[in-house]
Amino acid sequence: MEDNIKKLFEVDSKKIPNSIPIFPLDNVLLLPFGKLPLNIFEERYIKMTLESLKTDRMIGVIQPKNNNNELFQMGCIGKITSYIETPDYRLVLNLEGVCRFVLNERNLTPSGYYQATINCNDYLEDLDSIEPHVDRNSLIQKYTNFFKMKKLDIDKDVLAETSNLQLLSTLAMLAPFNKIDKQAILESPNIASRIDTINSILDLNTFQVVSNKEPNQLN
């Protein structure tokens, strides 16, 4: 009985839609197994969310390239796992990253949001919950140093309770990386490549900060 109920909530390759509503979010990263809270207040996106709740509860999060309505080609499907309606007519919801996708065509709906055809065939391994090998202590320390440089805090106690998959997604999504770095992390072909990309970005940011300091600041 429990296994049957579990299958109702899990997403496998057969449940991945060919067409989803698109939610462009600037400088926002959603990764598989990552959790993203959203505050929906624009009418068109409230309509988008309500329509999604009637079907498969999936929307596509993708970054705009610029101010000319151009989008990056890759985004990530998010499944609405919970939501509340607020007294001031907003929707506060939680998305869980499911699988990356490549954007094909998009069309403007009468409600004002875009519906797009997508392709996930090359990224179905995102659905696997196999734990990757991660040097957790080293990665957390690098993030801690990076957050400290940005004058931000990181809760190590919370991170200690996460799986390796969640750790990789959570830290990358929380970190104040720039848009290009976030897209590079998203587009890394696999988990191993994603770890390498994250480490390279963290190392480069740390090196740049140290290099920009005056000699007497380094002592």
Task: Using DSSP, state whether 54 is helix, strand or coil.
Answer: coil
104 beta partners: none
Report the 10 Å Cβ neighbour count for 184: 16
The H or E element that residue 204 is part of is helix 191-211
**pLDDT for residue 213:** 54
Structure tokens at 142: 């690098």
pLDDT in tens, the chain (219 residues): 676 777 667 787 888 999 999 999 999 999 999 999 999 999 999 999 999 999 999 999 999 998 778 999 999 999 999 999 999 999 999 999 999 999 999 999 999 999 999 999 999 999 998 889 999 999 999 999 999 999 998 888 778 888 899 899 999 999 999 999 999 999 999 999 999 999 999 998 876 554 555 555 544
Answer for the pair 149, 205: CB distance below 8 angstroms, yes or no: yes
Q: How far is CA 106 from CA 69, 109, 159, 183, in A?
A: 12, 9, 37, 20
pLDDT on residue 219: 46
CATH 3.30.420.610 fits 2-125, yes or no: no
What local confidence, expressed as pLDDT, does residue 131 receive? 87
Q: What is the model's pTM? A: 0.89
| Strand ranges in 68-219 using DSSP code E only, listed in sequence order | 74-85, 91-108, 114-119
Q: 19-24 and 58-62 as β-strands: parallel, antiparallel, unpaired?
A: parallel
Query: Please, is 26 exposed, middle or buried when counting C-beta atoms within 10 Å of its C-beta (0-12, 13-18, 19+)?
Result: exposed
Close Cβ partners of 196 (under 8 Å, ≥ 6 residues apart): 188
Alpha helix segments (H runs only) across 56-190: 136-149, 156-159, 164-174, 179-187
Tell me what pLDDT residue 178 has: 94
Confidence at residue 218, expressed as pLDDT on a 0 to 100 scale: 46
